[in-house]
Amino acid sequence: MRDANQALIVIDVQNDFCSGGALAVAGGDGIIPLINDMASDFPARVFTQDWHPDGHSSFVSSHAGKTPFETTEMPYGTQVLWPDHCVQGSHGAAFHKDLQTDSADLIIRKGFDSEIDSYSAFFENDQTTPTGLEGYLRTRAITHLTLVGLATDFCVAYSAIDGARQGFDVTVFEPACRAIDLDGSLAKAREDMRAAGVKLES
């Protein structure tokens, strides 16, 4: 077992990001056995769930004339328009059935404000509105985070960078992550993570 100041953060291992899902990430399900094995090694375990209301502003269906993966300008910056995914209470939003979630100390949901997407487990995409995760980790005296899950280049990377910026020691364990890789987004995310002081472990 690792030291008490270490948390495993499992990002968005939900049906919609796994095979057959609305926003399936190639090989997404393949990381589940590894995550299940890792969980028993960490004294603190936090799982996240992408959790959007119907008609969320990040959904392409909310933007007439747009096609999936195009971008649009939002008040908080450029936003990719995603296929509708992880609608609150839907099968797609549920954790994959093979992911062992009983070990979760905390399940944190994000992206529940219709008007703002939230890739990061710490802040919505306006980079100001907190999810509360930082306070949870600090009050438990957690200083070291290991991130795994989906997708490497969006929710994992945004969470890792925000974690590092807040002073946590952050490692992304890449064998237990998979990427969407939209127009070079994986290479850019890895570069941005490194620049923010995130350790990439292969």
Catalytic residue numbers read: 12, 110, 155
Q: Please, which residues bridge with residue 168 across strands?
A: none
Mask of contacts with ligand VGL, 28-67, x by CB under 6 A? ----------------------x-----------------
Task: List the interface residues with ligand VGL, window 154-193 (CB under 6 A).
Answer: 154-155
CA angle 104, 50, 166 (to 5 degrees): 75
Residue number with CB closer to ligand VGL (151 or 170) = 151
Q: Which does 93 bind (CB under 5 to 8 A by kind): Zn ion, ligand VGL, none?
A: none
Q: Which residue ranges make up the site for Zn ion (CB under 5 A)?
A: 50, 111
Shortest reach from residue 112's CB to ligand VGL, in Å: 12
Determine the interface stretch with ligand VGL among 30-38, 63-71, 149-157, 167-175 (rule: CB under 6 A). 149-157
150 lies in the binding site for ligand VGL (CB under 6 A): yes
Shortest reach from residue 43's CB to ligand VGL, in Å: 25
Tell whether the torsion through CA atoms of 103, 33, 189 and 186 is positive or negative: negative
Beta pairing, strands 71-74 & 106-110? unpaired
**Intra-chain end-to-end CA distance of the chain, in Å:** 20
82 lies in the binding site for ligand VGL (CB under 6 A): yes
Task: List the interface residues with ligand VGL, window 89-118 (CB under 6 A).
Answer: none
151 lies in the binding site for ligand VGL (CB under 6 A): yes
In terms of residues, how long is the chain?
202
- Residues 37/40/46/52 CA torsion (nearest 10 deg): 30
Q: Helix 157-165 crosses helix 185-195 at what angle (to 10 degrees)?
A: 10
Alpha-carbon distance of 153 to 192, in angstroms, equals 10
Footprint on this chain of ligand VGL (rule: CB under 6 A): 12, 17, 50, 82, 119, 150-151, 154-155
